[in-house]
Amino acid sequence: MMYERHERRWNGGILLAILLIVIASTAIIVMQTNVSWALVPSAIFLTIGLVYIIFGIHYALRGQPLDYYFGPKQSSYSIGWGIIALFIGVIVLNGFVIKGMDTLLISAITLLIIGIVALIGFVAGGKRGRS
């Protein structure tokens, strides 16, 4: 029990530290260049998505359920929400900063990735349950 509490605090601390670094660095970039302020929320969503995916993969490889304050207990949900946060970050980046990528293509690639992750989770989960 004590280990789980320590691990929750550790994961939350990592996410908070990374977000503070990302917010500060994107604010510096925006102030020093002529980039839109929409880069800041986009970077936040991209960071949260990447951290969620990394935590989900880390716990999936260890074979342990995901267990920390800001998410559900299964690593597949963490990976799924990470992909959705990445999608939101890319859409905001596309809409306000880059203005060149096709939104339908981004949506199709995101659905493809979610489908592949779901298929891998179903096949891998099915093998564990059948033996």
**Of residues 99 and 70, more confidently modeled:** 99
Give the pLDDT score at 5: 55
- Assess whether pLDDT exceeds 50 at residue 82: yes
* Residue indicated by tokens 């963490």: 78
* Residue indicated by tokens 């990447």: 50
pLDDT digits (tens, 9 = 90+) for 93-121: 887 777 777 888 888 888 888 888 777 77
pLDDT digits (tens, 9 = 90+) for 9-57: 667 788 788 888 888 988 888 888 888 888 888 888 888 888 888 888 8
* Percent of the chain as helix, strand, coil, to the nearest 5: 80, 0, 20
Distances (CA, A) of 68 to 12, 33, 59, 81, 118: 7, 37, 11, 14, 22
